[in-house]
């Protein structure tokens, strides 16, 4: 789905498909240098990271494996409670692995700060993060993120994996959701 297909649901376009792909390619080039001679394990966090993972993994000119986790970031619908529950765990043994967590967005940072510690405690050789989007103004905890696509304002964004009530994940770009949609 194109951003123009749901124009009236958006107040603005943040990033087009082309801009997103350019940002992902830039991160891929950096990762190729940083991980030269190694085979990183890319860990995608469902469901939002599906699009970033698909594009990033294919853009990388390195052997890399993919695995997936599903976590519930929030207790009972309240944002940023800090409660993280594993709904689907990794299939891969992390001992000695170089892990790159792949995320669509860092909002409060609570999910990733928990995940980072959790994966480190499994004996990984290294754990780094690639987040396509980060909202610095929404941060509740500091998270060391090595690779970031874009820093964005604290607005309700959808598309490219990001949803509102499970809608808009299949948008090719990222846009700001219009208040009439969610209020
Ligand atoms: C989103 C996103 C991150 C998390 C970020 O996932 O994919 O995992 O929220 O928020 P935080 O920095 O405040 O912890 P969500 O729980 O909405 O699930 P989804 O990926 O299935 O949409």
**Domains of the chain, earliest start first:** 18-154 (3.40.50.2020)
Q: Answer yes or no: is the C-beta of 50 below 6 A from any ligand 1 atom.
A: no
Find where tokens 């966090």 sit.
Answer: 45
State yes or no: is 107 an active-site residue. yes
CA-to-CA separations, 31 to 7, 101, 126, 146, in angstroms, rounded: 35, 12, 13, 10
Q: Which residues of the chain have pLDDT under 70?
A: 74-82
Tens of pLDDT along 40-90? 999 999 999 999 999 999 999 999 999 999 998 765 444 556 678 999 999
- Cα 69 to ligand 1 centre (Å): 12
CA-nearest of 152, 109, 113, 159 to 133 is 152
C-beta of residue 29 within 8 angstroms of C-beta of residue 182 = no
pLDDT at position 81: 63
Tokens of 153: 């304002």
The pLDDT of residue 83: 74
Residue (of 175, 167, 95, 93) closest to 133 by Cα position: 175
Task: Using the mean position of ligand 1's atoms as its centre, give its distance from the Cα of residue 163 in Å.
Answer: 10
Q: Which pLDDT score is estimated for 79?
A: 56
Ligand 1 pocket mutation pick from 111, 112, 151 by most atoms within 8 angstroms of CB: 111
């Amino acid at each position: 789905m194109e951003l123009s297909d749901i124009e009236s649901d958006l107040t603005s376009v943040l990033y087009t498909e082309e801009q997103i792909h350019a940002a992902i390619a830039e991160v891929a080039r950096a990762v190729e240098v940083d991980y030269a001679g190694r085979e990183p394990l890319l860990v995608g966090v469902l469901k939002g990271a599906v699009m970033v993972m698909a594009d990033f993994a294919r853009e990388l000119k390195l052997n890399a494996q993919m695995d997936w986790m599903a976590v519930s970031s929030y207790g009972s619908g309240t944002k940023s409670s800090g409660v993280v529950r594993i709904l689907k765990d990794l299939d891969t043994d992390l001992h000695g692995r170089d892990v790159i967590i792949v995320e669509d967005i860092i909002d409060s940072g609570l999910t990733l700060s928990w995940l980072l510690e959790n994966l480190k405690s499994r004996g990984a050789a290294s754990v780094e993060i690639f987040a396509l989007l980060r909202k610095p103004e929404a941060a509740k905890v500091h998270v060391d993120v090595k690779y970031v696509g874009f820093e964005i304002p604290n607005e309700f964004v959808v598309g490219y994996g990001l949803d509102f009530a499970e809608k808009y994940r299949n948008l090719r770009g990222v846009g700001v959701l219009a208040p009439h949609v969610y209020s």
